[in-house]
Structure 1
Amino acid sequence: MLHDEASEADTLERLRLAALDGDPHAVDDLVRALEPLVMRRCAKFLPHRADAEEACQDALVAVATKLRSFSGAGSFVGWVTVIASNSARSTYRSLKRRGSEQAVAVLPEALDPRTTSVMAGSRVDLMEALEAMEAAKPHLVESFVLRDLGQLPYDEVAEITGVPLGTAKARIHDARAFMRGHLVERLA
């Protein structure tokens, strides 16, 4: 871990403990300190800044309200990454639903969500591939998201998902193969 990352993790842990001890300003300070990290995580999933900001705000509210539910399995940053990833995926699904509803209302043949203005670019393909993997191989999704999108180390992915390190690595490998196949298939 780089010095800056270690320092950031130490600061976040200190703020988390202060919030749990009842410091009235610590939750606000923690949320402010987490915002850049959560925004970076959400932006990996969502192509438009406003959408990523929406997911970021939802994630930060979830972190603040569920702070006591952090069990200590994995790092606090890993736990926040899970919340941010889930929030971004939820926002994507909501945007996709709204885009489909708007397309039906305006132009019935525009049911393909790639044609809506709220979703364009390679991140949409990534989200569609994630949805396909969630439908076909749901046990692979969390490990893939934590490692490749959340940039967590393998050992932390294993700890968060509650599987042995070898299993976590195998799931990530299988997920990458699935994603590669799905994305290549879409390009063809």
Structure 2
Amino acid sequence: MSHPHTEPPTPDQVDDLARRAAAGEREAMEQLLAAVRPRALAVCRGVLPHPADAEDACQDALLNVATKVGTWHGRGRFTTWMHTVCVNSARSTYRRLSRQASPVDVASHPRADRPDPRTTSVVAGTRLDLLEAMEVLERDHPQLVQPLLLRDVYELPYDEIATLLDLPLGTVKAQIHTGRRLTRPLLRDLTVEPR
């Protein structure tokens, strides 16, 4: 028995669902979370290469979307705002997993589902050395991490990043340029030059 294929909602429809969910409509919230889940999982997979880790991060991201939907003020697309929530959730999951990992775990499973960061694309977003570099960059320059990830990993346009972060376009471009300059030496093998 075949099921009719339903088209995913348009960006305008997602924005409308988000506005209604923020206003307290429970059904709109359920529809919104169902609509954005595939995109949220894709964003998390872009940061975390292991499927179970990406799934955990996605669940955290969706919970954050549900509880923080009211902080999206309608500047830019809801999905652009959601990218930031998902990236933050994935990075939080990465930090938590890094803290929980022990040398015994690595020694007993030296090749368990771990991509070689020297041969994994920066653009694919699964470079473990990129995540480590972002952790280092965040210690001294936390304001540079978000614009850099949104541009070089998720390839959002500069103007969308400026809208999302509520910053002037020139500031965003300067932050991305500075972030790239500071991050390059931290990467073991930069195989793709950012645009």
- Using the size of structure 2 for normalisation, the TM-score is 0.77
1:55 to 57, 63, 66: 57
Residue of structure 2 in register with 1:171 after alignment: 175
Residue of structure 1 in register with 2:27 after alignment: 25
**Secondary structure in 2 aligned to 1:151?**
coil
Distance 1:17 1:139, change over 3 A: closer
Q: d(CA) in 2 for partners of 1:120 and 1:10?
A: 37
Unpaired runs of 5+ residues, structure 1, are 1-6
Distance 1:98 1:25, change over 3 A: same
**Structure 1 range deviating more: 36-45 or 17-26:** 17-26
Residue of structure 2 in register with 1:95 after alignment: 97
Q: d(CA) in 2 for partners of 1:18 and 1:72?
A: 12
Q: Offset at 1:32?
A: 0.9
1:183 to 178, 181, 187: 187
2:68 to 66, 69, 72: 66
**Secondary structure in 1 aligned to 2:10?**
helix
1:121 equivalent to 2:125? Answer no
Unpaired runs of 5+ residues, structure 2, are 1-8, 118-126
User: What one-letter code is carried by the residue in structure 2 that aligns with 1:183?
Assistant: L
Residue of structure 2 in register with 1:46 after alignment: 48
User: What one-letter code is carried by the residue in structure 1 that aligns with 2:55?
Assistant: E
Aligned-residue RMSD, C-alpha: 2.6
Q: d(CA) in 2 for partners of 1:40 and 1:181?
A: 28
Residue of structure 2 in register with 1:3 after alignment: none
Residue of structure 2 in register with 1:4 after alignment: none
Task: Answer whether contact 1:99 1:118 (CA < 8 A) is retained.
Answer: no
Distance 1:24 1:33, change over 3 A: same
Q: Offset at 1:86?
A: 0.3
Q: d(CA) in 2 for partners of 1:25 and 1:161?
A: 29
Residue of structure 2 in register with 1:8 after alignment: 10
Task: Answer whether contact 1:42 1:84 (CA < 8 A) is retained.
Answer: yes
Report the identity percentage: 42
**Secondary structure in 2 aligned to 1:66?**
helix
1:78 equivalent to 2:75? Answer no
Map Cα deviations across residues 30-73 of structure 1 (whole Å, 9 max, x no partner): 10110111111111110101101100010001101221222233
**Structure 1 range deviating more: 53-62 or 18-27:** 18-27
Q: Offset at 1:181?
A: 1.9
Q: d(CA) in 2 for partners of 1:93 and 1:29?
A: 30
Q: d(CA) in 1 for partners of 2:129 and 2:154?
A: 18
Runs of 4+ in 1 over 3 A off after TM superposition: 20-24, 115-121, 184-187
User: What one-letter code is carried by the residue in structure 2 that aligns with 1:11?
Assistant: Q
**Structure 1 range deviating more: 89-98 or 173-182:** 173-182
**Structure 1 range deviating more: 70-79 or 14-23:** 14-23
- Using the size of structure 1 for normalisation, the TM-score is 0.80
